[in-house]
């Protein structure tokens, strides 16, 4: 069963730190993105505002954070969180909740083990 399934927003709301990269694409073009996500923090605010931070902010990863930060997060279905706005159809970022501690990013074939901080 996916973590997001029948999960109240309160279980998603908070600060999630990446503990480790479980799987990443071997594509060299995504190396900077993977490195940024490997030390990222995801913030899901109660008002549904989203933010992502990292201490390895390459040019490409900065583009991701610039697009995603300050946008809204919504639960699309039982296992998926989408980030964006009504205007863009919440299409900036898709996060699959594989389990309580695993986020998958289908756009980049990236799977992260995360831990809730708050």
pLDDT band for 14, please (50, 70, 90 cuts): very high
pLDDT number for residue 77? 84
Q: How far apart are CA 51 and CA 22, in angstroms?
A: 22
Rounded to whole angstroms, the Cα distance separating 15 from 114 reads: 10
Q: Write the pLDDT tens digit of every residue in 107-118.
A: 888 999 999 996
Burial annotation 99-111 (CB, 10 A radius, 16+ → b, else e): eeebbbbeebebb
Which residue has 């490195």 as its token pair?
A: 35
Helix axes 59-68, 31-38, angle to 10 degrees: 60
Of the two residues 67 and 7, the one the predictor is more confident about is: 67
- Per-residue model confidence as pLDDT tens digits over 36-89: 999 999 999 999 999 999 999 889 999 999 999 999 999 988 789 999 999 999
Higher-confidence position of 7 and 50: 50
């Amino acid at each position: 069963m996916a973590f997001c399934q029948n999960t109240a927003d309160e279980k998603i709301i908070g600060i999630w730190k990446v503990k480790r990269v479980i799987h990443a694409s071997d594509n060299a073009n995504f190396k900077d993105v993977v490195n940024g996500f490997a030390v990222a923090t995801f913030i899901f605010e109660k008002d549904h505002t989203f933010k992502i931070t990292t201490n390895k902010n390459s040019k490409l990863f900065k583009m991701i954070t610039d697009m995603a930060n300050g946008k809204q997060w919504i639960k699309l279905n039982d296992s998926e969180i989408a980030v964006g706005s009504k205007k863009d159809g919440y299409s900036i970022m898709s996060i699959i909740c594989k389990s309580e501690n695993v986020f998958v990013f289908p756009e980049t074939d990236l799977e992260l083990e995360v831990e809730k901080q708050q």
